[in-house]
Amino acid sequence: MEELKQKLKEQIIEALNLQDTRPEDIKDDAPLFGEGLGLDSIDSLELMVLLERSYQIKVEDPREGRKILQSVQSMAEFIKSKQPA
């Protein structure tokens, strides 16, 4: 799980071009939107694309997406839940 979260942080920084942010600046449970990283609605679409391209997970329901993209922790838990045991 820790490895996945670290990888996710690196992928988020690269996908959203967060130039002045390092992986260690992103706390596992800090909100990605609004406060925290201060991402916006276009970023949420970019993160959906990231999930689809890197983890082959397609989020069909936008309401579900809101919960998944709350934090790095929630994203990692969602990815884990979709991966075969």
Binding residues vs other proteins (CB under 8 A): 16-20, 38, 42, 45-46, 49, 52-53
Q: Which is nearer to other proteins, 57 or 73 (CB)?
A: 57
| Residue closer to other proteins (CB basis): 39 or 72 | 39
SS3 31: coil
Complex with other proteins: residue 25 or 52, whichever CB lies closer: 52
CA 24 to CA 28: how far, in whole Å? 9
User: What is the helix, strand, coil percentage profile of the chain, to 5?
Assistant: 60, 0, 40
- Least Å distance, CB 43 to other proteins, is 8
Kindly state the smallest distance separating residue 27's Cβ from other proteins, in Å: 19
Three-state SS letters, 62-75: HHHHHHHCCCHHHH
